[in-house]
Chains A and B, each alone.
Chain A
Amino acid sequence: MSLSTPVWAATTPPSLRASRRENSGEIFFPSVPAESPLSHQFVDTQLAVEGQVYSFTIMHPSPKSGLPPFVLAYVDLPGPVRLFGRLIDSPARPVIGERCRVIADDTYGYLFQSLEARA
């Protein structure tokens, strides 16, 4: 993992590491680091990993890059909390409301994997 920000909690089954502001209940992801002067306002919490696509775009890198298109999405998880990341394995063009789950990834920390292909 090259990312400076830890995104996974040490739980089974896997869950995302987040912070909950005690006075408002608001969920912060990624989690508030221990060195933050605000950290005393937060408690650790975990996020369930299944959610729905709120919106998405298919990015088309410059032809000069030689890179294939990829999908970026906002995904809403219970909390409520909205995450941004890469969406993979959609059976066709993604759709708003598509069910997906968050899975670990060495490069990005996590990916959104479509669950529609398994329906």
Chain B
Amino acid sequence: MSQMHVMGGAMTVFGRHPGVMAPELAQRAILDAVADAGLQLADIQAVYCANVLGGMILGQVILRDLGLQGIPVYNIENACASGATAVHLAKHALLAQQYERVLVFGIEQLTALGGGTIPMQRNDRMTDLYATAGMVLPAVYAMRGTRFIHERGAKPADLAAVAVKNRHHGSLNPFAQQRSEVTLDEVMNSRMIADPLTLLQCCPSQVDGAAALVLGTQPGPHAKDVKVLGSIIVSGLREHGDDDILDAEITARAARLAYEQAGVAPTDLGVVELHDAFTIAELLYYEALGLAAPGDAVSLLHSGATALGGRVPVNPSGGLLAKGHPLGATGVAQMVELMWQLQGRAGDRQAGTPLLGLAQCTGGGIAGVDHAASAVHILGV
């Protein structure tokens, strides 16, 4: 085989799941994904579990009662790119003919942390120093926002417009945590978090969720066979003293490699799920992914091309901003959404009849690196 097929997938509703522990949450997505692939659990030969903050051997904890007969379980952490990294590693094994059918799932339960921003890890001198001063990811994105407004002549409302679009999309998605439409005024007037980013421009921090995919060397039972045409993981480079923080270099590099691997161009895409943890991120990633020429991100947004009904809808699921961002689950959930979109199964948020979709996750805060990891996947039918 030369390609990996998405045989089936599923996800839980992203939101607060009080009192639900990890096995019950993730098993729902796993069982639904296996059924969607037309398989039984006994058909699965290996499992990849993506998670960031749930503790050791979470995969085995979740799988214990499913009767999987002691097959290999790989636990994977790569910050916000954990889920996408798990898919990428599954590809290695499938292409190497180690397995024919594997299960990849991601899970995170952020409500257990009590809310607020995810703290930086302090296992590095530079990160410890900067975290002591107050470095958190909302601040990093906010400083990009300030610089973007300064250099591009943009307005804070241009950033806020991303939240209006994605929260409209989320209102159509029964799997999204936040399903309320919002106006530009409501976004702008919501509580300031990290200037220029207001509350409604930040992905919700109190969210739980799980998502699962069955990947294999043969097509699944669905009429439209979704294939993974490109799968790239890269890590961040050490920043220099005069780097441009608007240049999302790690993401642009991952995207360029993914387009090369898939043999497609940005203009071929029919749908995109990207890492809009904060509104400014979506604008920067339009350019990093080649959806907009350098300097044209705001124009692309205001053209309507990235809204449902537009040329290339971006984040029809509502994105991280509305759907929620349970870290380890996000990358898998993005690809579940692409599978549904490519197969015409996305309900009220269906983005036309796309033939190609792209999923991008970039995350992980380390001082001195723009991000730790970036993942870009291109799926097609």
B245 touches A55 (CB 8 A): yes
- A46 CB to nearest chain B CB (Å): 15
Contact (Cβ within 8 A) A55 B132: no
Interface size on A (CB < 8 Å)? 35
The verdict on B194 contacting chain A, using a C-beta distance below 8 Å, is yes
B119-134 interface code vs A (CB 8 A; 1 in, 0 out): 0000001101110111
Among A29, A57, A62, the residue within 8 A (CB) of B195 is: A57
B243 at the interface (CB under 8 A from A): yes
Chain B residues within an 8 Å CB radius of A86: 133-134
Flag if B150 contacts A96 (CB, 8 Å). yes
Q: Which residue of A lies closest to B148 (CB)?
A: A55
Which chain B residues in 239-255 approach chain A with CB under 8 Å?
239-243, 245
Contact status A55-B242, CB under 8 Å? no
Q: Determine if B53 is an interface residue (Cβ-Cβ < 8 Å).
A: no
Q: How far is the CA of A73 from the CA of B195 in the complex (A)?
A: 12
Query: Is A8's beta carbon under 8 Å from chain B?
Result: no
B241: A residues at CB distance < 8 A: 26-27, 76-77, 79-82
> In the bound complex, what is the Cα–Cα distance between A6 and B129 (angstroms)?
10
Interface residues of B in 190-219 (CB under 8 A from A): 191-197
Residue B50 lies at the interface, judged by CB distance under 8 Å to chain A: no
| Contact yes or no, B135 A84, CB < 8 A | yes
The one of B132, B142, B146, B193 in contact with A3, judged by C-beta atoms closer than 8 angstroms, is: B132
The B-contacting residues of A in range 16-65, CB under 8 angstroms, are 26-27, 29-30, 33, 54-60, 62-63
B134→A30 contact, CB < 8 A: no
Q: Which residues of B contact A103 (CB under 8 A)?
A: none
B contact residues, total (Cβ < 8 Å): 33
CB distance from A59 to the nearest CB of B (A): 5
| Interface of A: prevailing SS | strand
Q: Which residue of B lies closest to A82 (CB)?
A: B241
Instruction: Tell me, rounded to whole Å, the shortest Cβ–Cβ distance linking B198 to chain A.
Output: 9
Smallest Cβ-Cβ distance to A108: which chain B residue: B133
A72 at the interface (CB under 8 A from B): yes
Contact of B129 with A74 in the complex, beta carbons under 8 Å: no
Contact at B116–A58, with CB atoms within 8 Å?
no
Contact with B along A1-19 (1 / 0, CB 8 A): 0011101000000000000
B143 within 8 A of A: yes
Question: Contact at B143–A3, with CB atoms within 8 Å?
Answer: no
A108 to B197, CA, bound (A): 25
Closest to B115 in A: A62
With both beta carbons as reference points, the residue of chain A lying nearest to B194 in the complex is identified as: A57
Q: Which 6 A-B pairs have the closest CB atoms?
A: A80-B241, A57-B142, A58-B195, A55-B143, A81-B241, A55-B147
Q: Which residue numbers of A lie inside 8 Å of B, CB to CB?
A: 3-5, 7, 26-27, 29-30, 33, 54-60, 62-63, 70, 72-74, 76-77, 79-82, 84-86, 96, 107-109
- B interface with A by C-beta (< 8 Å): 116, 125-126, 128-130, 132-135, 138-139, 142-147, 150, 191-197, 239-243, 245, 367
Given contacts A5-B128, A55-B150, A73-B143, 15 further A-B contacts (CB under 8 A): A3-B129, A4-B125, A4-B128, A5-B125, A30-B126, A57-B142, A58-B192, A58-B194, A59-B134, A60-B193, A70-B134, A76-B241, A81-B241, A82-B242, A85-B130
